Each structure stands twice: as structure tokens, then as C-alpha cells.
Amino acid sequence: MNSEPSRSLVPIDKGNWRAALEVRVTDEQLPMVADHQPVALVILAKAYVQPDDRRWEPLAFVEEAGMVVAVLALAHGEQFTEIVNLAVDAEHQGIGLGTQVVLAVFDHCRHLGVRSVDLTVNPLNEVAARLYRRVGFTPSGEQRHGEPVWTRTLAEGSRR
């Protein structure tokens, strides 16, 4: 019998936004994730402002009991979708949640018809680089906002 709690990727909305605000990263991680706590506040502000002329999608990774254990934003553009501000709550780190979140993002993006997913990796964030490499991201050689861009191709036949 599997004792792992069921988790899913859901929109940050009027029912869970307060719980999303409880997600915190460590002080050392903050400059590499969002520069401000709570990270969900940064994500919600970007979803409202829509910077870079992209459609922003604020998301929470939620346990079946409703506890938000991670937050992130997807920024959908014409040519790519980018994972932005991914934050796993400090109290839930080190147990594979980052991998689960990214794999859930891949499933979500495939459902939307996305062909590839990008993200930027702070060069000092070795833990994130290991995670992203493990799930198939590779450096593209490009830079965005001063950080290296990594990309992961999804299933063929997707629309963008």
C-alpha cells in the first residue's frame, strides 16, 4: 500500500491563495527564487501584471488535505512556456517534491499542447541544476534576465 499523499498541480485561486502565501524558502534560496517572501505574492503580482507580454499562470502544488507545499508560475509565450519562481516550502524540501512538481508541470504543459518548457537557473543554485538535469533539462546556450536558459522538449505533435 502506498503511504505517499496524493499531490496535484492546481491554479492559485480564491480558495487557496492564503495557503499559497504560507510557502516559504530559506533565506539562502530567496535571491535565487524570487527576492521576496512570500514567493506566492511575487507570482500573483506577475500574473496580474503579465510582464514580457506573456500569459502568466500561477500554480500551487497541493497535498490531498489541501496543504500547499510548493508554488510556481508558468509564463506562456508564442514560442515557449517558462517555469518561473518555483518554490518548494522549506519544511518540505529534500523529499523529492521538486521532481514531482516539475513532472506535474510537464503533464500540464502536454495537456495544453506545449512542445517545450524553458526555465532559467541561477548559476549558484547547484541543487536546482541537479534537479533540472535529472528531469531532462539541458542548457540552451541562451541567457534570459542574466541567467542561463535551460530547455526540455516535450512530446512531439504538441502545438507550440
Structure confidence by residue, pLDDT tens digits, 105-154? 999 999 999 999 999 999 999 999 999 999 999 999 999 989 999 999 99
Structure confidence by residue, pLDDT tens digits, 55-86? 999 999 998 878 899 999 999 998 889 999 99
Q: Using a cut of 0.85, tell me whether the model's pTM lies above it.
A: yes
| Spatial separation of the C-alpha atoms in residues 136 and 122, rounded to whole Å | 17
Judge whether residue 46 has pLDDT over 70. yes
- Residue 158 — very low, low, confident or very high, per pLDDT cuts 50/70/90? very low
- Domains of the chain: residue spans and CATH: 7-153 (3.40.630.30)
Spatial CB neighbours of 64, under 8 Å, sequence gap ≥ 6: 5, 6, 7
